[in-house]
DNA sequence: GAACGGACCTGCTTGC
DNA sequence: TGCAAGCAGGTCCGTT
């Protein structure tokens, strides 16, 4: 269940592993894993011969800048590598990007393979097939092709994000704060697990209507969002999910969930049984005593 | 515009 | 034991 900290972990890993490496080819094993272009062949034609310059994360999206590989010898006179567009990835629920070797036996749910020099491979494995990859042509803006980028709200670690932003975005809305935290158009990157954790740390009930929250509560919410996400990034993502980083290693955030997945277990602060309700179509966990 | 629920999927767990 | 139903969740889309 990759949320912002897991996607950030993947992004940092890929920047270590794939920097300036050339994509020599690939294989699309599941056509619908490619969101753009229409065919797997044109996707592969777009990325083949490119080098991966840099990975970036935006919300839960991964974006790679592609340049002409040095083998292509098409540098500009200024020595700047020719722009070859980009590569977009969304892992959705079960997607994994694994840095492996071409001779590693194919996993049952391997969907897309990208081949690199020295027998290396970046393999997209995705059990539930909701994950997507895009090739972004050089002349197009990323948000034209990866349309989900258009609707994203602020990055939680950007300077535009503060408690005033939350007040401005939430003071007229009538949905639950849980639904608001899952809304990628307000703050980008929170998912079901961290939304529950953030609300616990803020002492706010998940079913509270956003317009009723006080400035003090929204200040606590702002602080909790940054703290929870930063702690998870520092630990390399969760273990209480089947998340793997590009080297196939689980994160270290596990075992320390305050409420997520802890229905009927005692609250770590007050021992009250954690409750689970359905909110915004998602399972939602909270402490009825600490959150009010 | 805003809120909500269903659809998309597969594998695992639960219930009869 | 066997089988069906329920559940997991990020995003998109249609409906209200």
Going by pLDDT thresholds of 50, 70 and 90, the confidence category of residue A14 is: very high
Beta bridge partners of A34: A133
pLDDT at A141: 96
Given the residues A12, A21, A82, A282, the one annotated as active site: A282
**Measuring from the CA of residue A190 to each C1', which nucleotide is nearest?**
C10
> What average pLDDT does range A207-222 have in this prediction?
96
A230 or A243: which leads in pLDDT:
A230
Q: Cis check for the bond before A37: say yes or no (omega within 30 of 0).
A: yes
Going by pLDDT thresholds of 50, 70 and 90, the confidence category of residue A237 is: confident
Q: What is the pLDDT of residues A25-83, one digit of tens each?
A: 999 999 999 999 999 999 999 999 999 999 999 999 999 999 998 765 555 556 678 99
Separation of A157 CA and B5 C1' (Å): 32
Distance separating the N- and C-terminal Cα atoms of chain A:
28
User: Does pLDDT of A214 surpass 70?
Assistant: yes
Is-contact A48 A84, C-beta < 8 A? no
Which residues have CB atoms below 7 Å from chain B, the nucleic strand? A 32, 108-109, 127-130, 172-176, 179, 280-281
Does A282 qualify as catalytic in the annotation?
yes
**Measuring from the CA of residue A176 to each C1', which nucleotide is nearest?**
B3
pLDDT at A258: 93
Residue A162, classified by CB atoms within 10 Å of its CB into exposed (0-12), middle (13-18) or buried (19+), is middle
Which chain B positions come under 7 Å from a protein C-beta?
2-11
Can you state the angle between helices A215-234 and A192-202, rounded to 10 degrees? 130
The values of phi and psi at residue A6, to 5°, are -70, -40
Beta bridge partners of A23: A116
Does A2 qualify as catalytic in the annotation?
yes
Q: What is the pLDDT of residues A125-134, one digit of tens each?
A: 999 999 999 9
For residue A250, give the 3-state DSSP assignment. Answer: coil
> What average pLDDT does range A14-35 have in this prediction?
96
**Measuring from the CA of residue A196 to each C1', which nucleotide is nearest?**
C9
Separation of A75 CA and B13 C1' (Å): 56
Closest residue, by C-alpha, to the C1' of B7: A130
* % of chain A residues with pLDDT over 70: 94
Separation of A112 CA and C5 C1' (Å): 32
Separation of A78 CA and C11 C1' (Å): 41
Percent of chain A that is helix, strand, coil (3-state, to 5): 30, 25, 45
Going by pLDDT thresholds of 50, 70 and 90, the confidence category of residue A3 is: very high
For residue A22, give the 3-state DSSP assignment. Answer: strand
Which chain C positions come under 7 Å from a protein C-beta?
7-12
Does A37 qualify as catalytic in the annotation?
no
**Measuring from the CA of residue A180 to each C1', which nucleotide is nearest?**
B3
User: Does pLDDT of A255 surpass 60?
Assistant: no
Does A60 qualify as catalytic in the annotation?
yes
Separation of A59 CA and C14 C1' (Å): 25
Given the residues A6, A8, A58, A60, the one annotated as active site: A60
Separation of A176 CA and B7 C1' (Å): 23
Alpha-carbon span A59 to A187, nearest angstrom: 8
For residue A244, give the 3-state DSSP assignment. Answer: coil
- Choose from A77-81, A146-150, A234-238 the range with maximum mean pLDDT: A146-150
- Please give the structure tokens belonging to residue A156: 């939680």
**Measuring from the CA of residue A278 to each C1', which nucleotide is nearest?**
C7
Q: What is the 3-state secondary structure (H, E, C) of A58-119?
A: ECCEEEEEEEECHHHCCCCCCCCCCEEEEEEEECCCCEEEEEEECCCCCCCCEEEEEEECCC
pLDDT at A252: 54
């Amino acid at each position: 269940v990759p949320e912002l900290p897991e996607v950030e972990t993947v992004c940092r890993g890929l920047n270590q592993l794939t920097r300036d490496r050339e994509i020599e080819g690939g294989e699309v094993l599941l056509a619908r894993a490619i969101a753009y272009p229409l065919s797997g062949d044109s996707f592969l034609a777009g990325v083949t011969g490119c080098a991966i310059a840099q990975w970036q994360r935006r919300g839960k999206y991964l974006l790679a800048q592609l340049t002409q590989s040095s083998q292509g010898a098409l540098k500009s006179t200024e020595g700047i590598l020719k722009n070859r567009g980009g590569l977009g990835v969304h892992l959705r629920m079960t997607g994994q990007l694994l840095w492996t070797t071409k001779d590693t036996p194919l996993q049952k749910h391997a969907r897309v393979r990208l081949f690199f020099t020295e027998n290396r491979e970046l393999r997209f494995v995705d059990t539930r097939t909701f994950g997507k990859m895009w090739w972004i042509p050089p002349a197009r803006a990323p948000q034209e092709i990866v349309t989900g980028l258009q609707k994203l709200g602020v990055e939680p670690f950007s300077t535009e994000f503060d408690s005033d932003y939350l007040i401005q975005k939430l003071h007229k809305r009538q949905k639950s704060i849980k639904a608001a935290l899952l809304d990628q158009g307000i703050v980008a990157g929170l998912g079901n697990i961290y939304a529950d954790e953030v609300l616990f740390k803020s002492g706010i009930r998940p079913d509270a209507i956003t317009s009723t929250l006080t400035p003090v509560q929204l200040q606590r919410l702002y602080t909790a969002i940054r703290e929870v996400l930063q702690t998870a990034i520092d630990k390399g993502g969760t273990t209480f999910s089947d998340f793997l980083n590009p080297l196939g290693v689980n994160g270290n955030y596990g075992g320390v969930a305050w409420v997520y997945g802890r229905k009927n277990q005692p609250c770590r602060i007050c021992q009250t049984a954690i409750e689970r309700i359905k909110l915004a179509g998602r399972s939602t966990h909270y402490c009825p005593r600490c959150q009010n």
